Structure 1
Amino acid sequence: MPPARWRETKRYRTNITGLGRNCSVFETARTWAYHEVRHHFGSPDTLHDAIHAEVLIRNTQFAKPLPAVEARAIANNIHRWITTRSRMWKDGAAV
């Protein structure tokens, strides 16, 4: 039997301490981007720009931020997954 509240164990990870900089930037930015898709539907360029800006903002919160190349790679990975594999993008604004 799964533990009580098993659905919330991974989905709503609010305490991300212990993760590295890459993982914490990726985890927080991707969940933000999933909600941001509905504002940029139909224009992948503006979605990419918004994701990149958000990753840079979240990256500056560290004492020693990631290099710009790594932050850009994280933004590219999030954007590529959303536009190629996500139902949020393929099924349209109805989702």
Structure 2
Amino acid sequence: MKITSSSSLSINSVTSSRTPAGTRAGKNAPERSTVELSPAARQLATLKNSDNDVDVARVQAIRDAIASGQLKIDTGRIADSLLASARELLK
């Protein structure tokens, strides 16, 4: 099955090489149909293509803090968050 997409984030056509039972592939043209994406799917595609995934300034600030020895890590807070996440998964 071949799926192609356009820049408007909807799938233009779906081409299937499958043929109905009892027919021969050489005699029938591939089946074509149109698929429309939901608003949620379009939003997810937009997020996937985002160039602003990383706050470069924040990353640099953390690098600088690590390099200068000023980064303070609260291990208790990290442990509490991990335990809370594990409890949430067990519900």
TM-score (norm 2): 0.27
Greater length-normalized contact order (CA 8 Å, ≥ 6 residues apart): 1
TM-score (norm 1): 0.26
Higher-Rg structure is: 2
The structure in which a higher percent of residues are helix is 1
